Amino acid sequence: MNKLILPSRLSRRGFMRTAAVAGGAALLAPGALAAAAGSGPAKAAAAAAAGAATTSSSAAPTSATPLATTRPLVFGHRGASALRPEHTLASYAKAIADGADYIEPDLVSTKDGVLVARHEANLTETTDVAGRAEFASRRARKTIDGETHEGWFVDDFTLAELKTLRAVERLPVVRPGSAQYNGMFQVATWEEIIDFVAAESATVGRAIGLVPELKHSTYFAGVGLALEDRFLATLAAHEYTRRNPVEIQSFEVANLKYLRGKLGRRANLRLMQLVVGGPLRPSDVVAAGGTLTFEQMCTPAGLRDIASYADVVAPPTRALIPLDKNGKLGRPTSLVDDAHKAGLRVEPWTFRPENRFLAADFRDGGGDNARNEIGSIAEIKRYLATGIDGFFTDDPALGRAAIGS
């Protein structure tokens, strides 16, 4: 078996080339799917909760010298979700057509253990379930990641039941063009998405990466539907994901450490630690009674800890350039430089093209919900100047325009 090592900040060109050369190399480490005694996300949570640095023989390099890059990566956030209902094959197809390097499926589990693409466990805002009389009795109240929600939840539906629903636009007032597609598309499974991307890649003649996010890992483990091993089994079963770029995301820590232990370091694989601003704690840290906060994770010491198990840190855009009291972009923080010194790539989320989501510098007079392509491109360019390695956008065509390619 070939032993493949992934440098912490491999360039896009190098990443794609090395992944192609890897060819038949196995994605999973030997015995990856065997349940080792005492292993799993729960055990990893203890170290995360304590906030202590993790030592590993496969820790990411900490060299401050960046490798050469061609251009930042464009991640199609939930596909091209500014233009099509999110997490549908239509949204992913539009993102690919508009030049996205990667498309993003957020993964949750059905009642019968099938991974499907939805932004959250609650189906209410993104499907027509509320109008389906046959499912009226499924309405429930659940606490997920410390917040109480009401609605219809994916883990109360089998895949067969879920397939009878149709996707709808989450922000119909803001995105009426996307809402015109309401009712046209099914909820897609993780396997269907892999097959679809493989077919699109063969059609357009270029590698298209996948950037799946494991959503609510602690919650799903608590209801007997743990995501990680199901995800690993699917990843290993598909030739496309054994050969082509995959970046695995999570706002939790223990699941990424678990995945790193199972997957090792492979030429086509990166792990991405998602973070938010402020003193909030990852859900797995909360469940373990720990004190580690996202704010602590974004310090130089915290970033070095992330680099011991992940390759990428993905903060919200405003953590890189915050807004001032007038809603305009202020001075950049040191987060990009600090992360690069720790050997991490920086791939923030999420650029959106409507006025309401833009800094005041870039809004036009079209109203809060108006689409503002010029302003969105200009805002992305300001963030590109900080040295980011990639970014999530609801409109990949505008992301490519900002980059200039």
**Residue type present at position 174:** V
Is a pLDDT exceeding 60 seen at residue 51?
A: no
53-67 pLDDT per residue, tens: 333 333 333 222 222
CA 399, CA 403: separation in Å to the nearest integer? 6
What is the structure's pLDDT at 278? Answer: 87
Is a pLDDT exceeding 70 seen at residue 12?
A: no
Q: And the tokens for 177?
A: 């063009």
Mean pLDDT for 18-24 is 42
What is the structure's pLDDT at 23? Answer: 40
What is the structure's pLDDT at 70? Answer: 77
Decide if 169 is inside a domain: no
What is the structure's pLDDT at 258? Answer: 98
Decide if 167 is inside a domain: no
Domain tally, the chain? 1
What is the structure's pLDDT at 269? Answer: 97
Percentage of residues in the chain having pLDDT higher than 90: 82
- Per-residue pLDDT band for 106 (boundaries 50, 70, 90) equals very high
Is a pLDDT exceeding 50 seen at residue 303?
A: yes
CA 119, CA 108: separation in Å to the nearest integer? 8
Lowest mean pLDDT among 38-42, 80-84, 391-395: 38-42
Lowest mean pLDDT among 55-64, 137-146, 205-214, 244-253: 55-64
Decide if 196 is inside a domain: yes
Is a pLDDT exceeding 50 seen at residue 150?
A: yes
Which residues lie closer than 8 Å to 106 by C-beta, 6 or more apart?
A: 78, 87, 117, 118, 119, 120, 212, 213, 215
Decide if 129 is inside a domain: no
Is a pLDDT exceeding 50 seen at residue 246?
A: yes
Is a pLDDT exceeding 90 seen at residue 157?
A: yes
Domain that holds residue 373: 12-120+186-403
What is the structure's pLDDT at 40? Answer: 56
79-100 pLDDT per residue, tens: 999 999 999 999 999 999 999 9
**CATH code of 359's domain:** 3.20.20.190
- Per-residue pLDDT band for 249 (boundaries 50, 70, 90) equals very high
CA 402, CA 384: separation in Å to the nearest integer? 8
Q: How far apart, in Å, are the Cα atoms of 31 and each of 23, 43, 261?
A: 20, 18, 11
Average pLDDT, the chain: 87
Decide if 337 is inside a domain: yes
Decide if 159 is inside a domain: no
Decide if 164 is inside a domain: no
Decide if 168 is inside a domain: no
Mean pLDDT for 136-156 is 97
Torsion of CA 370, 86, 253, 226, to 10 degrees: 160
Output 54 or 161, whichever has higher pLDDT: 161
Is a pLDDT exceeding 60 seen at residue 20?
A: no
Q: How far apart, in Å, are the Cα atoms of 236 and each of 26, 61, 369?
A: 8, 26, 42
What is the structure's pLDDT at 42? Answer: 52
Which helix (H) or strand (E) segment holds residue 52: the answer is: none
What is the structure's pLDDT at 73? Answer: 98
Among 72, 140, 128, 110, CA closest to 391: 72
67-77: b (≥16 Cβ within 10 Å) or e: eebebbbbbbb
What is the structure's pLDDT at 10? Answer: 43
CA 114, CA 354: separation in Å to the nearest integer? 34
Percentage of residues in the chain having pLDDT higher than 70: 83
Torsion of CA 242, 246, 247, 250, to 10 degrees: -70
47: phi then psi, degrees, rounded to nearest 5: -65, -40
162-212 pLDDT per residue, tens: 999 999 999 999 999 999 999 999 999 999 999 999 999 999 999 999 999
